[in-house]
Structure 1
Amino acid sequence: MEIRQLQYFLAVAEEEGFGRAAERLGIVQSAVSQQVRRLERELGVPLFGRSTRGTRLSAAGERLLPQARAVLDAADRLRRTAAAVAAGTDGILRLGTVQTPDGRLDAVLARLAARAPALRVRLRQAPPAERLEALRSGGLDAALLRAAADAPGLTVTPVWRDALHVALPADHPLAAEPSLRLAGLARLPLRRAAPDRNPGFHALLTGACRAAGVDPPPGEPFTTLRETLAEIGTSGTASWTVFYDVNGLPELPGVAVRPLAGVTVTTSLVTPPGPPAPALRHLLAAFGRPGGG
């Protein structure tokens, strides 16, 4: 069964004649008659009663006409939806996310919804390496990533920049400073995560230390922010760590948190290479970045 056969069936029924249906469809009458006969053979019932007085629906045709209309309506909805998906205003956009402290991602998603109300966004939280792997394998359409300097083969578009913060013992002399620089922290053991846990941020911090001409001695490994800060405040051995704000600046006894001057972390939207797909253009526009449409 073909869609055009149902279209011809509907046209003949509404025009009450093969000739008028052919005129409406802009084709020859023989083509209409041939396709309707094929449809009748496939369905196994006559759809029309043909006589010298004209063409009328048979009982079977009268029963099947509403269903033919429903199929054609469904096909039309399918075409419209497919066109909207192709234009990026409908469909599903799979986005790997990061935590943000100030609702900025919610604001981006609200702007995206205003541009493409039928576009559904599926958010996925995963470690940075998993986000990149999912993007390369097609499991994600885009991913937000902090310090995404090393993303070979992908397009990296910066979308916002965040300050970094230092946590150190509250009784350390440096805690009296309103902000800190890496040069002043050079002799204190630095607690940081292994490179494979967050390669981009590890590389950012390593590069910043190198640019500042410092190489802090390694401290105990960074585990979670809460656990690491608790150890900094209670271990009795001075150490420090660097972090970015995701849920508001923490407050723990014995720990001072100060801004790190001269170093920031950039969050980027990472996408497949080449021109962005229509849905991604809408997302880029919601971020206020070039390439959005």
Structure 2
Amino acid sequence: MDLRVTLKQLEAFEAVATHGTFGRAADALGRAQPTVSKEVRALERTLGTELVIRQARPTRLSPEGVELLERARAALTATALFERTARDLGERAASHLTVACSPSIANRLMPHLLQRLETEGPKLTVLEIGTGQVEQAVATGEADLGLAHFARAPQGCRRIHLGDDPLVLVGHPDLLGDLRTTQDLASLDETPLPVWPRENHPAYFDAIMTGLLRRGLEPHTLLQATDRLSGSHGYLLGQGRAVAVVPVDAAESLDPQLLSLPLGEGADVPFDAVIPHPPKAVVDLVLATCRRIHAELRGGGEQG
């Protein structure tokens, strides 16, 4: 026999058994009485057996109905548990965010964000990836939120500006100690500059180069580095063999013996968020917290 029992049929049968009449069962379910009667008859046709003796007053179950009632109730209980578990999982997923961010943001802002949201917000998983890759992580669904400098908005995503970070020139005191101003950096033309490949993020790369050219510096050697200047190319900075231009938060994660000189007016990079459309409901809270922490860090206020 091809059994095609529906939940509505089981609910109608259980309600009739519990309340004794089709009328009271209909009231309990919030359905019309003919609808409840139709569902029970459909269940009986599907099972090939009479479940309810309708001539009795009040209505009572047939022997087969009595035997199947507990099975019906078990099925309804299991379904309710399934639905509740699914809701709980959905709520848990909705309150969890995977945040993709560039290393400089992971080093500086993210610890404050994680600490702040321990009691105030959703659980975060941090996905630390390179410049130019944050947006793609959001676009592909690998991350629910992206934080990056000079972020772009892929199709189906939206960029939100959270603030600005000044660019700083970083290097060994032997190279930078005698500089009187960062408005004239021509003396550093022969000093290698580690920077990621332009194709990783053309707009960001061009902003750095434009800022240097306006200050008289045209580096003759560009080292194709990663974002992680504190890693593979960090020794060049520490030995006075290179200088770098990074956002101020990235400079704060480098060797404290290095000098960091602000490039000055007009040498800022935007700090942005990238979110999918539509975003998770908790994204607004996280963005507001990011904006507040960023302002505090830039302004020297509270940092925890």
**TM-score past 0.5 threshold:** yes
Is the 1:166–1:180 contact (alpha carbons within 8 Å) kept by the matching residues of 2? no
2:167 equivalent to 1:126: no
Deviation at 1:25, TM superposition (A): 3.6
Correspondence list, 1:88-237, <5 A: 90=94, 93-98=97-102, 99-102=106-109, 103-107=111-115, 109-110=117-118, 113=121, 121-148=124-151, 150-151=152-153, 153=155, 154-172=157-175, 174-176=176-178, 181-184=182-185, 187-188=188-189, 189-193=191-195, 194-212=197-215, 214-222=217-225, 224-225=228-229, 226-234=231-239
Distance 1:260 1:100, change over 3 A: same
Give aligned pairs, total.
Answer: 273
Provide the secondary structure at the position in 2 that maps to 1:62. Answer: helix
Distance 1:165 1:175, change over 3 A: same
Q: Which runs of 5+ in 2 are unaligned?
A: 293-304
CA offset digits 1:259-291 (Å, max 9, x no partner):
324134332101246x756343444344458xx
Determine what percentage of the aligned residue pairs are the same residue.
23
Q: Which of the residues 251, 255, 259 maps onto 1:251?
A: 255
Is the 1:97–1:124 contact (alpha carbons within 8 Å) kept by the matching residues of 2? yes
Is the 2:144–2:275 contact (alpha carbons within 8 Å) kept by the matching residues of 1? yes
For residues 183 and 224 of structure 2, the distance between their equivalents in structure 1, rounded to whole angstroms, comes to 19
Deviation at 1:76, TM superposition (A): 5.3
Is the 1:187–1:217 contact (alpha carbons within 8 Å) kept by the matching residues of 2? no
Q: Which runs of 5+ in 1 are unaligned?
A: none
Provide the secondary structure at the position in 2 that maps to 1:242. Answer: strand
For residues 104 and 260 of structure 1, the distance between their equivalents in structure 2, rounded to whole angstroms, comes to 24
Provide the secondary structure at the position in 1 that maps to 2:143. Answer: coil
Distance 1:40 1:284, change over 3 A: farther
2:58 equivalent to 1:54: yes
- TM-score normalized with structure 1 length: 0.72
Provide the secondary structure at the position in 2 that maps to 1:13. Answer: helix
Is the 1:181–1:261 contact (alpha carbons within 8 Å) kept by the matching residues of 2? yes
- TM-score normalized with structure 2 length: 0.70
Is the 1:132–1:143 contact (alpha carbons within 8 Å) kept by the matching residues of 2? yes
Correspondence list, 1:2-21, <5 A: 2-21=6-25
For residues 55 and 167 of structure 2, the distance between their equivalents in structure 1, rounded to whole angstroms, comes to 86
Distance 1:191 1:248, change over 3 A: same
Q: 1:231 is aligned with what amino acid?
A: L
Provide the secondary structure at the position in 2 that maps to 1:196. Answer: helix
Distance 1:112 1:128, change over 3 A: farther
Distance 1:92 1:171, change over 3 A: closer
CA offset digits 1:197-225 (Å, max 9, x no partner):
45454233123224445433335443542
CA offset digits 1:168-225 (Å, max 9, x no partner):
23323x3256x96252355332413221345454233123224445433335443542
Distance 1:213 1:39, change over 3 A: farther
CA offset digits 1:236-264 (Å, max 9, x no partner):
xx531123445954338xx6322324134
For residues 4 and 91 of structure 1, the distance between their equivalents in structure 2, rounded to whole angstroms, comes to 32
For residues 128 and 249 of structure 1, the distance between their equivalents in structure 2, rounded to whole angstroms, comes to 16
Provide the secondary structure at the position in 1 that maps to 2:233. Answer: helix
For residues 187 and 47 of structure 2, the distance between their equivalents in structure 1, rounded to whole angstroms, comes to 84
